[in-house]
Structure 1
């Protein structure tokens, strides 16, 4: 089993259990097109952290540390992270963590993926 990350706006869908890890539903994407198995919106960074980061690659290292701290200390995020771990543990399929950001290298899905490797 492999954990992939993919932008939800990509035309090609990676096969596997599809999990959206954004707090806000992606604009212009219908539920049918998203083809989700789960939407773990509570696993996403808080609005405060997301706005602070603003997808600035120079802030990514600090964002990663702050986000990991949120996953440990924020009850809703910790529960959502535990749910993700449970989904992964019980699955015999690949996992696809979906995100909406245009930056494929600096976002919460990358942080989550790296948490399992």
Structure 2
């Protein structure tokens, strides 16, 4: 977990040495992502974040409001689709985007609470209109 956080911080801080970098915050960025985490899938759109733009690249660190899809094999069962809030790093170049999200699964009677790292691919929706 510490390695993942260190890696994300390095990726976000690396482009700050450039002279053409623009850093700002946003409530919504217009990026839709589909991915895999914890033996299930997720769909999310980037939420409140801090982002940096350099030419056609965009580096985003923020919250990820998501719908997670996972079949629960335990009894009693959870529903197949659950809303979730994650946090993670998103990199987009022109229309393509790749994301490394972190989601927390809370403690239950049989499992300890834990953070799960995932991977996702998506599109930068705001670029469609240009």
Same fold (TM > 0.5): no
Q: Which has the higher helix share?
A: 1
Q: Which has the higher strand share?
A: 2
TM-score (norm 2): 0.22
TM-score (norm 1): 0.23
